[in-house]
Structure 1
Amino acid sequence: MGDYHFQYLQQYLHNVNLRKKVKELLKEKTEIQQKLEILERDDNHSLEERKKRLRSLASEVQRNFECPLTKCNKKYGSEGSLNQHIKLKHPELVNKT
């Protein structure tokens, strides 16, 4: 009977320790979830802020880059935009060079 009682006490103490660990882990899980929610909220705000860009109005852009074809009267505000126009609208010019 003594051996049975000893095993019962061991199991009881083991269960008490496991319950403590489970409570600690649940508390830690809750804290981590709260931190994650805060980080996601902050990250969403920063993503929204990154998406917003101040752009110049079309009327404000100085168009100094002209298409080299005389029949095409297009002008662009940057060399990159002009190059993109040439690639898309005048591929024969790209193939020459």
Structure 2
Amino acid sequence: MNKSRDWNVVDDELNRKFKHLQELKSSLDDQSAELLLQNKDQNQEYNNDINYYKEFWRFYILNEMTIKKVNELHSQNQKLHELIAEIDKLQQELHQALSYRHKKKNRRTSQEIEKSFVCPYEKCNKQYGSDVSLNLHIKLKHDGGNKTDREKFAKMIIEAQQNGETITDLNINIKFPPGYLDQFKNQFMLSQQNQLNQERQSIEQD
């Protein structure tokens, strides 16, 4: 009998505690519901038709995409700054190069120039520091034409002589420097002889 009574006491005690737990749970549920109602009253934008869980993830993804785009724009902005800095550097180098190019050269005075090019015409004692200056003098002061004209007309005269043609038929309107034709003829004949020798050697090798 004592054992039976002991089990009954235990069973009653468990039932009492279980009932107490149910009451606590019910009380907590009521408090939670009351808090939710209070929050709904405080937030007028709350809408039962909206799935706030999905909205949360939607805004989260949009936020991540925005952050990624901002980082990309920041990276592009840095690259643009680097390009601008490089362009500025190139412009400075170009400006320095142009300044150096346009820098005034220290020209030699007339007394410092060695005038070793003498005019070949009689009674003309002009001397110049370069072949270009001498040829310009011959063309302007003695109607001797430029270097190209003299060589062209001299070759025409020599070829006409070799072919037995009359020189007076040639339209030559320049005055050759003294001894120029003889000097050019010697060089021309030597050039022809060298060309013939090369052709003979080529034929013999074949």
**Does the TM-score normalized on the shorter chain lie above 0.5?**
yes
| Structure 2 equivalent of residue 95 of structure 1 | 149
C-alpha distance in structure 2 between counterparts of 1:18 and 1:47, whole Å: 43
**Unaligned runs of at least 5 residues, structure 1:** none
| Structure 2 equivalent of residue 42 of structure 1 | 93
**Unaligned runs of at least 5 residues, structure 2:** 1-50, 152-206
Flag the 1:95–1:86 CA change in 2: closer, same or farther, 3 A.
farther
Flag the 1:42–1:11 CA change in 2: closer, same or farther, 3 A.
same
| Structure 2 equivalent of residue 9 of structure 1 | 60
* Partner secondary structure for residue 57 of structure 1: coil
Contact 1:67-1:74 at 8 Å conserved across structures: yes
C-alpha distance in structure 2 between counterparts of 1:26 and 1:18, whole Å: 12
C-alpha distance in structure 1 between counterparts of 2:146 and 2:83, whole Å: 59
What amino acid does structure 2 have at the position aligned with 1:68?
P
Deviation of 1:6 after TM superposition, in Å, equals: 4.1
Percent sequence identity over aligned pairs: 21
| Structure 2 equivalent of residue 81 of structure 1 | 133
C-alpha distance in structure 1 between counterparts of 2:137 and 2:69, whole Å: 71
C-alpha distance in structure 2 between counterparts of 1:6 and 1:37, whole Å: 46
Would you say 1:61 and 2:113 are equivalent positions? yes
Deviation of 1:73 after TM superposition, in Å, equals: 4.7
C-alpha distance in structure 1 between counterparts of 2:66 and 2:138, whole Å: 73
C-alpha distance in structure 1 between counterparts of 2:79 and 2:87, whole Å: 12
TM-score computed with the length of structure 1 as normaliser: 0.68
Per-residue CA deviation, residues 16-44 of structure 1 (Å, 9 max, x unaligned), is: 11111111211221122123212211221
Q: Which has the higher contact order (CA 8 A, sep 6+)?
A: 1
The structure with the larger Rg is 2
Range with greater deviation from structure 2 (66-75 or 52-61): 66-75
Flag the 1:81–1:10 CA change in 2: closer, same or farther, 3 A.
farther
TM-score computed with the length of structure 2 as normaliser: 0.38
